[in-house]
Amino acid sequence: MHRFYLPPDQCQGNLLALADREAHHALHVLRLRAGERLMVLDGAGQELLCEAQPTGRDSLSLLVAQRQKIAPPACPITLVQAIPKGKLIESIIQKATELGVHRVVPLVSDRVAVVLDDESAAAKAEKWRQTAIEAIKQCGSAWLPQIDAPLTPRQFLAAAERFDLVFIGSLQPDAKHPRTYFQTFHREQQRPPRSVAVWIGPEGDFTPAEMAAAKSAGALPITLGRLVLRSETAATYALSVLNYELQAPPG
């Protein structure tokens, strides 16, 4: 079934309307006709089964046949991702969305080649949000991740956000398997974590000063295997491992 995205404020009532990009895709790419059924996602946990109605050339009316609310993940994951070269961040956001990430914080760390002012940072964030929208339509997730405007590591740490567990990918000898930290947390707290964040560095990794600052703020160094991974591979690997551990029974 084809999936489309409408923000929550446009999903009220029993008659919805696709316009602009979504309508063009429905009408001129997929060539949907009146009576065909499709799924609308609002990115806030709601799936709406709809039926296409007779329409004009540039908009498509939808009759809501059924609504279903999908619960959010029990433990939201935040990816704190240094921005790699080129368009690789878009691939990272796509894969992260498919893996159910709650939020992506793009980082402009010392070894990131991208230079952004406030205006270009906001434009980038909006473009990356569109990447996430396309990803939830592809994978069927009812939850659209939050895509932040780029920050420096110092700015992110200055916000002093609270997470039950914070990890940072590391090749240093003190890095441990994430399971070690999950087991320790459960043993000490007698419950699974309710929020997790993971830092992934750029090509060349975080600088020693950035690594030290993150660890001083509570980030726990985790190993991603003995091989040196590209940034986009490391992000996918880390999120996959964290999802596996969060879904596993405590032990």
| DSSP 8-state secondary structure symbol assigned to residue 114 | -
**Burial (CB count <10 Å: 0-12, 13-18, 19+), residue 226:** exposed
pLDDT of residue 249: 67
**What are the beta bridge partners of residue 41?**
5, 47
Residue 157's pLDDT band (boundaries 50, 70, 90)? very high
Q: Which of 24-38, 90-104, 189-203, 218-232 is predicted least confidently?
A: 24-38
112 & 219 share domain: yes
If you average pLDDT over residues 73-83, what whole number do you get? 96
Element (H or E) spanning 79, and its range?
A: strand 77-82
Indicate if the pLDDT at residue 251 is higher than 60: no
For 205-249, the three-class secondary structure string (H helix, E strand, C coil) is CCCHHHHHHHHHCCCEEECCCCCCCCHHHHHHHHHHHHHHHHHCC
Residue 104, helix vs strand vs coil: strand
Q: Mean pLDDT in the chain?
A: 92
Last residue of a domain, one of 69, 87, 119: 69
Q: How does pLDDT run across 206-224, given as a tens digit for each residue? A: 999 999 999 999 999 999 9
Indicate if the pLDDT at residue 85 is higher than 60: yes
**Residue count of the chain:** 251
Residue 73, helix vs strand vs coil: coil
> pLDDT: is 57 or 227 the higher one?
227
Query: What residues make up the domain containing 15?
Result: 3-69
Supply the CATH number for residue 52's domain.
2.40.240.20
Under 8 Å CB-to-CB from 99, ≥6 apart: which residues?
Answer: 236, 239, 240, 243
57 & 97 share domain: no
> pLDDT: is 248 or 185 the higher one?
185
If you average pLDDT over residues 25-39, what whole number do you get? 89
Supply the CATH number for residue 151's domain.
3.40.1280.10
pLDDT of residue 62: 94
pLDDT of residue 82: 96
Asked whether 83 and 107 are in contact (CB, 8 A), the reply is yes
Written as six digits, the tokens of 228 are: 């040196």
92 & 185 share domain: yes
Last residue of a domain, one of 42, 69, 96: 69
50 & 139 share domain: no
pLDDT of residue 59: 82
CA atoms of 200 and 26, how far apart (whole Å): 37
pLDDT of residue 250: 58
Q: How does pLDDT run across 108-155, given as a tens digit for each residue? A: 998 887 777 677 778 888 999 999 999 999 999 999 999 999 999 999
Residue 12's pLDDT band (boundaries 50, 70, 90)? very high
* This prediction's pTM: 0.92
